[in-house]
Amino acid sequence: MIDKSLQQLLRQTSNIVALTGAGVSAESGIPTFRDAQQGMWANFDPMELATLEGFLRQPHKVWDWYQQRREMAAKAQPNAAHLALAEWQEQLEQCLIVTQNVDGLHQRAGSLHVIELHGNLHRDRPISQQLPAEKAADLPRCPETGNVLRPDVVWFGEMLPEGAMEQALSAIEVSDLVLSIGTSAVVQPAASIPLHALENGVPVVEINPETTELSSAADWSLRGSAADVVPQLVAAAQLHYSRDRLSR
């Protein structure tokens, strides 16, 4: 799976950006969004559950769904892909994880440099709108402002956290390898991250069991699960670090 030229590249690499999506947490038991049968958007309506308009219409329904997702994420454990990336981060000069996931599993695996493009499931933030009293009854409220709280995730049509994309794109410009792991590469602006790498002559490796929008453009498209392939990549790079250490 890892050919000679990729192995060579991995051994020379000291600065990586890894874009991750729902597929990286699939083997921790968290469903992806676009899987035909078990994907969340096959069973739930994103316009109801992942838009501000949907929240303002049915805040209790949205909160119930996020509460279930919170509990699921809290019970889940980081898998071999999260752990391998965290280990790699310790060894590389720079290894920035740019994730679309809101489950916090990269951090729980020990990764320190993580940009959360779509926010974090475990945090709340107040809404600026006022809800009618009967709709707002029993909803969590901000202790300071008294405003109704919502999950601190990015919903469709909303802006990403300030500076997140800029930081990711600048990191790519000085990186020597970009990984796109477990993402269908269709949701913008995250999907433009690996394309930005290609435009800047930075090689891109995709890890996904399925073909995606990115597959034909990526320099390497590795067909396999994240928990299987990511540790192999880190192991292939490792030979370089240990040799390096020995020679010092």
Residues of this chain that interact with ligand OAD (CB under 6 A) are 21-23, 26-27, 32-34, 39, 50, 100, 118, 154, 182-184, 187, 208-210, 212, 225-226
Q: Which residue is nearest to ligand OAD (CB)?
A: 23
| Interior angle at CA 76, CA 73 and CA 81, nearest 5 | 110
Annotated binding site: 66, 69, 100-103, 182-184, 208-210, 226
- The least CB distance from residue 70 to ligand OAD, in Å, is 14
CA atoms of 36 and 27, how far apart (whole Å):
17
- The least CB distance from residue 107 to ligand OAD, in Å, is 16
Give me the torsion for CA of 224, 225, 226, 227, rounded to 10°. Answer: -120
- The least CB distance from residue 187 to ligand OAD, in Å, is 4
Instruction: Indicate the residue among 77 and 145 with the shorter CB distance to ligand OAD.
Output: 77
Candidates 60, 82, 106, 118; catalytic one = 118
Kindly list the distances between the CA atom of residue 19 and the CA atoms of 66, 141, 160, 200, 247, in Å, as whole numbers in the listed order: 23, 33, 15, 16, 32
Annotated binding site for substrate: 66, 69
Instruction: Indicate the residue among 11 and 124 with the shorter CB distance to ligand OAD.
Output: 124
Catalytic annotation present for 106: no
Q: Are 158 and 46 in contact (CB under 8 A)?
A: no
Instruction: Indicate the residue among 36 and 246 with the shorter CB distance to ligand OAD.
Output: 36
Instruction: Indicate the residue among 21 and 78 with the shorter CB distance to ligand OAD.
Output: 21
Bridge partner residues of 97 (DSSP): 18, 114
Catalogue the E-assigned strands of the chain: 15-20, 94-99, 114-116, 119-126, 149-153, 177-181, 204-207, 220-222
- The least CB distance from residue 217 to ligand OAD, in Å, is 15
Q: Which residues are catalytic?
A: 118
